[in-house]
Chains A and B, each alone.
Chain A
Amino acid sequence: MTISIRSVEKTFGRFPALNGVSLEIADGELLALLGPSGSGKTTLLRVIAGLEFPEKGQILYGDQDMTFTSAAARRVGFVFQQYALFRHMTVAKNVAFGLDVRKGQAKPSKSEITARVDELLKLVELGELGKRYPAQLSGGQRQRVALARALAVNPSVLLLDEPFGALDATVRKSLRKELRRIHDATGVTTIFVTHDQEEALELADRVAILNKGAIEQVGAPHEVHDNPAGAFVCGFVGEANRFEGAVKGGRFQSADIALPAPGVADGAAVAFVRPHELVLAPADQANLSIVTERIAPQGAVVRVDGATASGQRIEAAFARQNAGDLQPGAKLSLAADRSYVFSA
């Protein structure tokens, strides 16, 4: 189902949590709401779910206005960071809950419910664990149960609030792939909140980046990474070295670095260079020079920490075969393959 969010505003006390947010989510899309804590991403998700209500604006499911419809009537699947399982019920009962509380005609028969629960437990690969209690499961398994429970009601949209936040790194990685697989298998429109940009970029069809209750940019993962709309997105998505300086006549200049800045107005500006877009260069072609402090080979890349003459910290990452024999304390000349300059 298509979800439309139109100029939604929401405040908590005097603190504006959402500041006129508009967003369209296409049918069957997997969208990530990405932002730092306090950016309003969870509030936006809860407004979509009907767990919070906006002061201004509209929420549409398809062409139906749902702005003030209760969560119970919206048919959403909501997955919480802390699982929120019913711990006095078995796994199977948890998954069946959404079907079990239906009334009269809408309630499926016992055998239909059992069949649906079995099907969902298989989908999340917990086929054998229906009789267990949540307390007997690991964190990753509990989140799978929560996912199956949310999917049981055939939700028009699946909403996940930091679904992997409470899990350790390995489980998080595998569950991420799992979510993508389940999304592709069910085709349900899915929105998930995360502060982990790696997670958003790897998993989502599109990423919406929020900051201070407003959307900074919406786009495919490679778009927001390669063509950031502003300084915030550039600094938040992917790693970047940040330089503060000024633009004059299409050139950015700071204490340490000079960069081309075509089309940027004169005045104070910030520039970003990603670590992997810094390359070793002869001194006469270099944009900056650093003294290395730490050389750390990590898989296919060598990560280099260093500082410029003025003390600005620089991170660079070279492909292993290009790195040669780097030593701490060496002086390196670096050129920026690519840079981003924004008016401050």
Chain B
Amino acid sequence: MTATETSQIVASRRPMIRRRSAIPGFALTMGVTLTILSLIVLIPLSAVALKASEQTFPEFLQAAFNERALTAYRLSFGAAFIAAIINGVFGVLTAWALIRYQFPFKSLVNGIIDLPFALPTAVAGIALATLYAPNGWIGALFAPAGIKIAYTPLGVVIALTFIGLPFVVRTLEPVMRDLAADVEEAAASLGANRFDTILRVILPALGPAWLTGIALAFARAVGEYGSVIFIAGNMPYKSEIAPLLITIELEQYDYAGAATIAVVMLAVSFLMLFVINAIQAWARRLGQ
């Protein structure tokens, strides 16, 4: 038996997962990743599920799907969805303006887009609540028409729109920048007018990134707590979001009930992230 044969046999005995690679450090990086992921994400989330499973199944159903919880889910997911759509429309316009045109204070505008990332959400919530309250600067404009914004589901949508804006803009920007000008010129030289070019060439090319951005804004909005509680009014069955319901049940020492709602939200969030990943995989296949 020659030396090479020996080493081949030794190599083949290694676990399947560990392929020979020219890039060192697989064991180290994978180990650290799994440890951190477990400590920070996996173990706490399993604990939530474990806590929820302390109840019997009918108890679980009752805690998860009672009338108050259902209204809260409806508000959380509904408002998050509307906010994500609003961000989808304005995000694409904002990204377009930032990529395509030069205007004064452009870098300032560019910085302001990221503010919702950085600002403590409670600050945003208080500011929005003050502005949109019936006696606030903006709320006062709508109050005579009988439209109440703050302390209603409408207020929730406004807060969620605020925190979701950067996601669509920042997801679209690199794709828009990559969208070579020659593709538009090709469309023009083939006789397409501006409208056709935007509708049939530019928007479809942006599609996957756009969906990803909207999905990210949606996911962020579903979990949002800090900014919403100040502007929502938090009336049960009316303007109470699901994360708030969790806090309320915790305050009542109903840990299993809180964990139950958390599990439902967890399941939905996981489903959403799965969808986001599917969109991205689809986009990669289309891309070059």
Contact = CB atoms under 8 A, between A and B. Distances in A.
A72 B191 contact: yes
A98 interface: yes
B273 interface: no
A87 B288 contact: yes
Given A84-B183, A86-B183, A101-B196, A135 B285 contact: yes
B182 interface: yes
Nearest to A77: B189
B205 A87 contact: yes
Given A84-B185, A88-B207, A153 B191 contact: yes
A232 B280 CA distance: 52
Interface residues of A, number: 32
A150 B182 CA distance: 13
Contacts of B235: none
Contact of B192 (A78, A82, A97, A146): A97
Interface string A57-83: 000000000000011111111101010
A193 B134 CA distance: 66
B30 interface: no
A135 B189 contact: no
Interface string A131-146: 0011100000000001
B288 to A, nearest CB: 5
Nearest to B179: A87
B191 A98 contact: yes
Contact of B185 (A51, A88, A98): A51
B201 interface: yes
Interface size class for chain B?
20 to 34
Contacts, number: 79
A102 interface: yes
Contacts of B189: 49-51, 71-72, 74, 76-78, 150
B193 interface: yes
Given A133-B286, A135-B285, A135-B286, A84 B188 contact: no
B185 A102 contact: no
Given A87-B205, A87-B288, A88-B207, A97 B182 contact: no
A87 B286 contact: yes
B44 interface: no
A135 B288 contact: yes
Contacts of A153: 190-191
A340 to B, nearest CB: 39
A97 B187 contact: yes
Contacts of A102: 191
Nearest to A100: B200
B144 interface: no
Interface string B161-197: 0000000000000000000101101111111110010
Q: Determine which residue in A50, A74, A97 has the highest number of CB atoms from chain B within 10 A of its CB, and name it.
A: A97
A202 B269 CA distance: 62
Interface in B191-230: 191-193, 196, 200-201, 204-205, 207
Contact of A82 (B180, B187, B191, B204): B180
A102 B190 CA distance: 9
Contact of B287 (A80, A84, A89, A135): A135
A149 interface: yes
Contact of B201 (A70, A73, A86): A86
A332 B284 CA distance: 61
Contacts of A70: 188
Interface in A104-161: 133-135, 146, 149-150, 152-153
B189 to A, nearest CB: 4
A193 to B, nearest CB: 14
A91 to B, nearest CB: 14
Nearest to B189: A78
A102 B188 CA distance: 12
A101 B182 contact: no
Contact of B286 (A49, A82, A88): A88
Contacts of A134: 288
Contacts of A86: 183, 186-187, 201, 204-205
Contacts of A49: 189
B175 to A, nearest CB: 12
Nearest to B201: A86
Contacts of A76: 189
A102 B288 CA distance: 28
Contacts of B196: 101
B183 A72 contact: no
Contacts of A80: 182, 185-186
B177 to A, nearest CB: 15
Interface string A210-229: 00000000000000000000
A101 B286 contact: no
A101 B205 CA distance: 17
A51 B207 contact: no
Contacts of A88: 204-205, 207, 286
Contacts of B186: 78, 80, 84-86, 146, 149
Nearest to A76: B189
Given A70-B188, A85-B183, 8 more contacts: A49-B189, A73-B191, A76-B189, A87-B287, A88-B207, A89-B204, A102-B191, A146-B186
Q: Which 6 A-B pairs have the closest CB atoms?
A: A98-B190, A84-B182, A78-B189, A84-B186, A101-B192, A88-B204
Interface of B: 180, 182-183, 185-193, 196, 200-201, 204-205, 207, 285-288
25 contacts: A49-B189, A50-B189, A70-B188, A71-B188, A71-B189, A72-B189, A72-B192, A74-B189, A80-B185, A82-B180, A84-B185, A84-B186, A85-B183, A85-B186, A86-B205, A87-B205, A88-B204, A98-B191, A101-B191, A101-B193, A102-B191, A135-B286, A135-B288, A149-B190, A150-B190
